[in-house]
Structure 1
Amino acid sequence: MSDSLRSVPSDTAADTPGPEGPAPAPADLVARSRDALRERGVDLDQALTALREAPLPDLTGWFTISRSRQDPRAVLETGWRFAKFEPVPVAALTDWSRYGREHRSWGFHLHAFEFMDPLLRAADEEDGGRWLDEAVRIALSWISLHRDADDEADPMVWYDMSQSLRTPRLIALALRAARREDLRDHTVVLAEALAWHLDELHEDRAFNPRNNHGFYTAVSQVHAAKHLGMLPDAPRTAEEGEERLARMARSQFGPDGVHLEHSPDYHRMLLNSFELAVRDGLIEDEEIRGRIERAAQVLGWMVQPDGTMLQFGDSPATPVVASTAESIDPQTRFILTDGAHGEPATQELAVYPDGGYAFVRSPQPSRPGELSQGGYLAFSAAFHSRAHKHADDLNVVWFDRGRQILTDAGRFGYGELLGRDSPLREEGYYYAAPERQYVESTMAHNTLMLDGRNQRRHGRQPYGSGLGECLDKGGRFDLSGRVRHEDYVHRRRVVYIPGRELRLLDAVHSGADHVREGTVWLNVDGGFELESVGEEIVLIAPGPGEPVRLSITGPGTPIEPVRGQREPMRGWRSRVDRDLEPTWSLGFTFPIDTRASVTTTLRLS
């Protein structure tokens, strides 16, 4: 919390209304809110005084998972912008449900009140009264429309993440409005809305302990209880939130610090939220703090040489490297700032047996500007739950010689859900867009497929970590993993010599009584050009220096390389949600008669 925000007195510019003053609060809404607070045993005068005198929390914190840099004037006049969607006219919006119906992420971020952030920042500036007036007016309009709304009217209103992230923004708005006497009635409405937000956060539907959403519900409760002590429910909210928070820390991060939802970008996002919750005094438990410290150390290994997050699972290629980047771990900070701050790592191999990841970074950067130059390999052998899990057991991602070589297909975004009776749900899919289904598929990853079918996720018991022995043999890295599927076992060794060669050694033991077809899929960065297909597949990547030549040999019969094929969809990746870009899809098929062992070799020259 900044000192400037702690010390905003009630007679500063924040008290100054806009040129025409605030619009009156609807009389019936004020009356209903006043009566509802009194029924809860709230003394209105005391509560309003407490709100006015309460310190203002920082406007950035655990809840700013998507930071808006939009100008406040543009939010009001043009509309709030999220990702690549059209502007939403929040200043005059009457149908909030449309956006969630069209795209769940759009509706979620809208109902999380992310559009409030530029308005609240502007409200704290000199002559900020107009911005506060507008923010309060929009909030009251939303409250009047949704006070009695149910899930069927707009399912994203009470979506767990929406309400968890909306609550701290409503708190920030109410505390600022309380400092203005001409917003007294408006503050009554905001206070009562916060009271029923606390009710909603208690509901079982608001707390999902099976994925990271549960953290946001829990920390929202602790945050609310800290700043809303004038409400009778605050002590119960604090107690429940702290219990839930401890539970989530243990379930979200493994003992080795890896976030257990198969997505490095969610690891980054949740770690950042935990760190900010610690900063804001919401987490004091030493065990939780220890896990956060270990998670911060893991994060550095998830940063690719191009400065973006590794794209395992539901991860866009989020840029994270900047000279101002922070981390509580000095080695991770060195990576995040490309050597500008922090301490260089000494080891070139990191193994996380609980989380199911192994990483190679060789050579490690030791000076500023060296991050992009080293070899980098990421290996995944993890299935902890269905959360953000793709059909990608024993997948690898590879960078070398200053460029990416083997890619992961990324996330593409969420969008419209499949019907509950869709047969595609049996294949593990939730979402209807074919692009989304493709990036989840086995062929979009660098791993093994049997009989042309995706690795099974639906109805399959998660195995946790399948990581085996991983060794640094003096510049030659030997990683291994083993995964049991429904009717076969897949073992993979990954032997990596940075700058020279990657070998994938796959062994399959089938439980079927017939010959099966195995496919080793590879996805090569689209910046390469195909030179030849013969005894080996050769691709060339032009560059500012010497071109990189990649030669690939594999077992059985090669599959024709394609790049950006539409029908059937093959050879795509998504770095940014809702965008696809071409990548090379190729592979090798081979027969499996109970057992088979095959080697795929990728050489650089």
Structure 2
Amino acid sequence: MPSPAETAVTPGRIWRTLRHYRLRQLAYYLYRRRIQPLMTSRIRSPSLSGRRPGVAMRPRPYAGQPADGDEAVTFLNVTRPFGRGGVVEWHPADASRLWRYNLHYFDYLGDDTRSVAARDRLIDTWITANPPGTADAWEPYTASLRIINWIDYILRTEPTRPAPEPWLASLGQQAAWLAANLEHHIGANHLLKNAVAMTAAGAFFAGEDAERWLDVGLRLVTAQAAQQFLADGGHYERSPMYHAIAVQDLIDILNLLQSSGLCSGRRELAALTAVARDGLGFLAAIRHPDGEIPLFNDAAFKIAPSPAALIDYGQGVLGPDACPARPDGGVRLIDKPATGYFGHSGDGDFLLMDCGAVGPDDQPGHGHCDTLSFELSVDGRRLIVDSGVSGYEADPLRRYVRSTAAHNTVAVDGHEQSEIWSTFRIGRRARPLTASIAREPDGTVRIEGAHDGYRHLPGRVVHRRTIRCEPEARRWIIEDRLEGRGLVTAESFLHVHPDLTVTRRRPILVAEAAGRTVLTITPSGGDEVRLDDGHFYCPEFGRVLANPVVVQRVRASLPCRFGWTLEAPVTSA
């Protein structure tokens, strides 16, 4: 886990962080934080002339936990009542800030196990309890999700009763607030969400401001999609969870505009459709055999819709050919060079290695020290796992999940690959040097990557990793090479799924499930191998599971080599 010295705020660390930001981004940050304090910005009354006729939307997938009645809600694996005595508590002081944000997102309007009357009451009480500028409730990202969710809910439930006028007035006011408070200083998925919400509000309403929101919002969505989605279809923050969220954002706005017959002649729709299709294809390619996402960087299950739900939604909006089915049988290469994801998949076995950048230079906040880390599934079961993420509080667990030791990669002399600090900050970043995948004539898949995250150390250390995947033999050979000069101490980590037990049977280690061997682990080149405790697997927000971690320690003069051989039982035909 990073030490206090490694996470302290110093002038050098601030410089190494800010030097990557765009001048325009820094100017917006100064404006938003100093010149236009968020909670005191005024909102003018928008120039609207009611609802736009003919607005419609296909049903959207709901990713939240279905309610057990109308009086409570679950976010981040924490269930709380909405309030007491019929009064909704919109700002519970004992809840985390992220939990409170979720309360104000209103995603739960998509949960049709709740009664319409109960959901209507939540909107009514929110309007009364949260005047413009209220903390948490009126953050631009929070408002963006709420705008989309309210529009979706109004369109889905209008057959039961017309939308009350106070709802429409509040929705217009929220859109006007958002249009004046776009998160250019944060950018990335926040700005994309802002743009989608502004476009949706412009499509929903009629009037002078609505036309401006629709035009400016659609152009901003298109520009951000072009910037944020890479040539291989991956999202540039390199978090599979935020990739799925961003893909849904694009499908949502295409859904609304196409269903409403709006903007059909604009080139932006064709551009967004192409990006959304590529994004769906990327998501389909990188999912594990269990159907879920890898947990690289800030990623967890049950925040975005599952890949299957999102692909089904995308095919409904974009057409049945929006995401071609994966071919049956055989070993498929996963070759995503722009994102830096390489691996193979087939017959229930899956390996994916992260050889990419930690994130975009101007917004790496969701990045972890996971360069050259990998995940492995065998027979549809996750065996070697990424630590995931449990929350965004500034606590030791947040520091841990971002650290090098929380990933299946190598730490040198106790240093982090990238200079993580604060909750979302990174100073010095590990840069990919090489990344490639190839299938050899004998069917072996060879993945290679390297990074310079330790080049600032006295020995100018470079970490190179090669994974030789032998699918027929169900064998994966990991070779790590440290180049540079001098004497170093390195540690290589293997995080095993918490459902498995690991025992030592020298010279190997055996991972078992219910007494059955599922993986053997053979270290090579190291001085010491140990089973570590104090590590955690966080597959969902608010869910923290202790898991076994195998650590190989190497004390050697550079250059040096060490590694692992992982083998799964070969099933008879």
Q: Give the TM-score normalised by structure 1.
A: 0.73
Among all aligned residue pairs of Structure 1 and Structure 2, give the percentage whose two residues are the same amino acid.
Answer: 19
Amino acid at match of 1:262: R
1:522 CA displacement: 1.1
Pair 1:481-2:475 in alignment: no
Quick check: 1:352–1:358 contact (8 Å CA) kept in 2?
yes
Q: 1:330 to 1:374 in 2, by over 3 A?
A: farther
2:168 corresponds to 1:199: no
User: Is this contact kept in 2: 1:113–1:165, CA < 8 A?
Assistant: yes
Distance of 2:244 and 2:231 partners within structure 1: 17
Alignment of 1:130-529 (within 5 A): 131=117, 135-150=119-134, 154=135, 156-171=136-151, 186-187=164-165, 189-207=166-184, 210-230=187-207, 232-281=208-257, 284-318=268-302, 320=306, 326=312, 328=315, 334=325, 343-344=327-328, 348-361=332-345, 364=346, 373-382=347-356, 383-385=358-360, 386-414=364-392, 416=393, 431-432=394-395, 434-458=396-420, 459-460=426-427, 462=429, 466-473=433-440, 474-485=442-453, 486-487=456-457, 488-498=461-471, 499-510=473-484, 514-529=486-501
Q: Distance in 2 between matches of 1:143 and 1:408?
A: 41
Where does residue 370 of structure 1 map in the other structure? Answer: none
Cα distance change of structure 1 residues 331 and 588 upon mapping to structure 2, 3 Å threshold: farther
Mapped to 2, the partners of 1:351 and 1:376 lie a distance apart of: 13
**Matched-pair contact (CA < 8 Å) for 2:244–2:307:** no
Give how far 1:599 is off.
Answer: 3.2
C-alpha separation in 2, matches of 1:41 and 1:532: 71
AA of the residue aligned to 1:556: G
Structure with greater strand share of residues: 2
Moved more, 295-304 or 326-335: 326-335
1:601 aligned counterpart, secondary structure: strand
Say if 2:58 and 2:255, in contact at 8 Å, map to a contact too.
Answer: no
Give the aligned residue type for 1:149.
G
Q: Secondary structure at the match of 1:316?
A: coil
- CA-atom RMSD in angstroms: 3.4
Question: 1:536-559, CA deviations, whole angstroms, 9 ceiling, x for partnerless residues?
Answer: 232142469x63350312222223
- Pair 579,176 (structure 1): closer, same or farther in 2 beyond 3 Å: closer
Deviation at 1:221, TM superposition (A): 0.9
Counterpart pick for 1:81 among 74, 78, 81: 74
Corresponding letter in the other structure for 1:477 = V
Q: Could you tell me how far 1:268 is from its partner in structure 2?
A: 2.0
Report if the CA contact (8 A) 1:222-1:241 is conserved: yes
SS at match of 1:280: helix
| Aligned mates of 2:562, 2:180 — CA distance in 1 | 52
Contact 1:159 1:206 in 2 (8 A): no
Whose radius of gyration is greater, 1 or 2?
A: 1
| SS of corresponding position for 2:565 | strand
**Paired residues of 1:215 and 1:248 also in contact (CA < 8 A):** yes
TM-score, length-normalised on structure 2? 0.77
1:551/1:604 contact within 8 Å kept: no
Q: For 2:157 and 2:270, locate their aligned partners in 1 and report how far apart those are by CA, in whole Å.
A: 36
CA distance in 1, matches of 2:67, 2:57: 18
Letter in 1 for 2:464: R
Considering Cα pairs closer than 8 Å and 6+ residues apart, tell me whether 1 or 2 has the greater RCO: 2
> Pairwise mapping of residues 8-27 of structure 1 onto structure 2 (< 5 A)?
none
C-alpha separation in 1, matches of 2:519 and 2:331: 28
- 2-structure distance, mates of 1:441, 1:148: 38
Q: 1:476 to 1:202 in 2, by over 3 A?
A: same
SS of aligned partner of 1:58: coil
Check if 1:580 corresponds to 2:544.
yes
* Change in CA separation of 1:234 and 1:68 when aligned onto 2, cut-off 3 Å: farther
Change (3 A) 1:479 1:215: same
More moved, 193-202 vs 279-288: 279-288
- Contact between 1:308 and 1:320, CA under 8 Å: does it hold in 2? yes
CA deviation map 1:173-196 (0-9, x unaligned): 677999999x89x50x33332232
1:600 to 547, 564, 568: 564
Q: How many pairs does the alignment contain?
A: 495
- Stretches of structure 2 lacking an aligned partner (at least 5 in a row): 1-42, 421-425
Query: In structure 1, what is the Cα distance between the partners aligned to 2:562 and 2:149?
Result: 56
Paired amino acid for 1:405: L
Check whether the contact 1:470–1:478 (CA below 8 A) recurs between aligned residues: yes
2:179, 2:329 → 1: CA distance? Answer: 44
Match of 2:512, as an amino acid? A
The question of whether the paired residues in 2 share the 8 Å contact of 1:508 and 1:595 is answered with yes
Q: 1:111 to 1:528 in 2, by over 3 A?
A: closer
Aligned-pair CA distance for 1:442: 1.2
